[in-house]
Amino acid sequence: MQRIAYTFTNSTVQYYLDTDFIHLEKLADREHAVIITDEHIQRRHQRKLKDWAKIVIPPGEGSKVQSVVDTIIARLLFLGADRDTLLIGVGGGVVTDITGYVASVYMRGLKFGFVPTTLLAMVDAAIGGKNGVDVGPYKNMVGTIRQPAFLLYDYKFLKTLPAAEWINGFAEIIKHAAIADPKLFRELEGQRPAIYRKDSKKLSLLVRRNVLIKSGIVKKDEFEKSDRKLLNFGHSLGHAIENLYGLSHGQAISIGMAYAAIISEEITGFKETERLHRLLASYGLPLKITVQTDKIMAVLRMDKKRQKEQIRYILLDKIGKARVIPIPMERLERILEAVLDKG
Ligand SMILES: NC(=O)c1ccc[n+]([C@@H]2O[C@H](COP(=O)([O-])OP(=O)(O)OC[C@H]3O[C@@H](n4cnc5c(N)ncnc54)[C@H](O)[C@@H]3O)[C@@H](O)[C@H]2O)c1
């Protein structure tokens, strides 16, 4: 087991990397803890979870909504959860986002921890304290920023992860490399996702590296006043299409990054679009989708990065260096109109 700690504005988060789920018993008193998980994880990992009080939600993005928050809260009341109850989200980004949110609002805030079970949650979603729910097509429209007490990484969960979900995780890994780590980008260019699946040492190093990238950025700017915004590379368009077209988060972000590279060419003079597209494609991630621009613009207008008539878009100067650039909505609409595939 490797243990690291990051101190954010109001709290310290303990990361237990390369460990076993059994270690949870040392972090949580079973009598005062409730696990929130989804049906897929409950089915595949019943034995691990059997001795814990649990709330099991339906799997998928459709569960990241207020009505499921209400159901969880009703169950917590039924279970007699009080301010001393620890909530533990065991799952992918949907479970960790909703667990963090419920823990932030139930009785004005409970302590919580995460056991991320998808690659995407391990390298991104479980880290950084952003949590919340969607409102219709608007992703993460309601939420809070509040840090978990701990993150426990048991890579054995990944053995049951479907291949498509494995690939989704690489969207956020490629994002980290594209905005902050050109060396990681080169390493990924020399590998394939299957290699990391087979080689546990490589996987453990890859997860650790991404944990450090994201945690380092969040530590410097927890409340997203400056550099944390860079982590939204690919997310403006990505979030706009994710729920509209029923894409997975990884697919939506991949498409968002592919177009952000094209927009970067026009605005920053970025010259490595081909290279980014090649890497995404070689990890099995999509580059485009046929869309209706007016529908997308309607969702983009509600983007959290919009300020009056401008949207703060994350663009690349080069691989490993990103910048936030305000683009007038009208100009963005013209660019998207010209480059998007329209149905
Ligand atoms: N809070 C953040 O900073 C942040 C960052 C990135 C993404 N996110 C959010 O994360 C979500 C996407 O996360 P995700 O890709 O993990 O999706 P997810 O939680 O929906 O999990 C994907 C699928 O894998 C299944 N699954 C999970 N672990 C499994 C396992 N070990 N074995 C078998 N099946 C398993 C789930 O049941 C689900 O069907 C999105 O809602 C996105 O907005 C949040």
Q: Please write the tens of the pLDDT for every residue from 157-183.
A: 999 999 999 999 999 999 999 999 999
Other Cβ atoms within 10 Å of 250 Cβ, number: 31
Residue whose CA lies nearest to ligand 1 atom number 11: 93
Catalytic residues: 108, 130, 172, 214, 224, 228, 232, 235, 239, 249
Mean pLDDT of 44-49: 96
Please check the confidence at residue 304 and state whether its pLDDT lies above 90.
no
Please check the confidence at residue 302 and state whether its pLDDT lies above 90.
no
Q: Sort residue 140 into left (φ over 0), alpha (ψ -120 to 50) or beta.
A: left
Q: Please write the tens of the pLDDT for every residue from 177-203.
A: 999 999 999 999 999 889 999 999 999
Distance from Cα 305 to the centre of ligand 1, integer Å: 23
Distance from Cα 308 to the centre of ligand 1, integer Å: 32
Query: Does 300 or 95 have the greater pLDDT score?
Result: 95
The CA distances from residue 260 to 120, 236, 343, in Å, are 20, 9, 20
Q: Please write the tens of the pLDDT for every residue from 263-297.
A: 999 999 999 999 999 999 999 999 999 988 888 98
Share above pLDDT 90 across residues of the chain, in percent, rounded to a whole number: 90
Distance from Cα 126 to the centre of ligand 1, integer Å: 9
Residues with CB under 6 A from ligand 1: 38, 40-41, 44, 59-61, 64, 91-95, 97, 117-118, 120-121, 124-125, 128, 130-131, 139-140, 157, 160-161, 165, 168, 249-250
What's the confidence (pLDDT) of residue 211? 98
Cα distance between residue 243 and residue 130, in whole Å: 19
What's the confidence (pLDDT) of residue 153? 98
Distance from Cα 265 to the centre of ligand 1, integer Å: 31
Across the chain, mean pLDDT equals: 95
